[in-house]
A and B are shown apart, each in its own frame.
Chain A
């Protein structure tokens, strides 16, 4: 499983500080022109996309979620079990 955060129109120094403060290890894609956000049709934040091994979007969350909840864990586990 790979997690990629996309930061659009944020200040680079704020991102570095934020990453350090929260001890994030996942990569952050920094984009100033919102090209990726536009390509994915992201018009509100936060949004989370689940992309399966075939590159297909299989899920999308349109608001802030608590990923530690049981049903969220189950969702991720379900997606990980998905066979090719």
Chain B
């Protein structure tokens, strides 16, 4: 019986075609704009934070060789960042460095095509995601400052801080978040520790 079920399964799953999109396939444009805020509105940390960004980008792991769209690179960058952050907490500095640097490489691809941060970006009808590539690169660099220092590479740590502050300024041009101000403080503290 089991063998028969197995054979049936084999036949059934020769190939599965999964089609996303139905009525909406004829109109991929957003049905309505996402919520807008005044230019100087500061998004609270409980509204926009790293954990939310991680949650929105989990799922199938994006492999570099399979990444084809800008959004793939964004998801991949966030996934690499999550891994890098986890390894940082485990004090696995060298491995953390690899993932955080890879995350930055992915984000740079995103920024080539979509250079501006948006608190929310419509990606799916009324569904929006937090889209802050500049801020996430800045945050990666803040973490990399610690990583490089622990790897006794002060030159790279200084470079990461300078790069991070540059991306942070880019982010703040378009979106203001409490998270960004926390990162700013992180860089200031890192400079004082020097």
Question: Chain A: residues with CB nearer than 8 A to chain B?
Answer: 1-10, 14-15, 18, 28, 34, 36-53, 55, 57, 60, 62, 64, 76, 79-80, 82, 84
Contact = CB atoms under 8 A, between A and B. Distances in A.
Given A4-B18, A7-B23, 20 more contacts: A1-B15, A1-B17, A2-B15, A7-B21, A8-B20, A8-B24, A9-B124, A18-B22, A34-B124, A38-B56, A41-B60, A41-B75, A43-B124, A47-B19, A49-B18, A49-B20, A51-B18, A52-B15, A53-B15, A62-B69
A65 to B, nearest CB: 10
A22 to B, nearest CB: 10
A21 to B, nearest CB: 11
A15 B72 contact: no
Given A2-B12, A9-B125, A34-B124, A43 B69 contact: yes
Contact of B72 (A1, A41, A48, A82): A41
B41 interface: no
Interface of B: 10, 12-25, 28, 56, 58-60, 62, 66, 68-69, 71-72, 75, 123-127, 129
Majority SS at the chain A contact face: mixed
B18 A48 contact: yes
Nearest to A54: B13
B71 A43 contact: yes
Given A37-B124, A40-B59, A80 B14 contact: yes
A28 to B, nearest CB: 7
Contacts of A46: 19-21, 25, 28
Majority SS at the chain B contact face: mixed
A45 B20 contact: yes
Given A45-B20, A45-B21, A40 B123 contact: no
A34 B14 contact: no
Given A2-B12, A42-B124, A44-B123, A10 B18 contact: no
A59 to B, nearest CB: 9
B23 to A, nearest CB: 5
B14 A53 contact: yes
The 5 closest A-B pairs by CB, nearest first: A46-B21, A45-B21, A39-B59, A7-B22, A46-B25
Contact of B20 (A1, A47, A50, A55): A47
Contact of A53 (B10, B21, B22, B124): B10
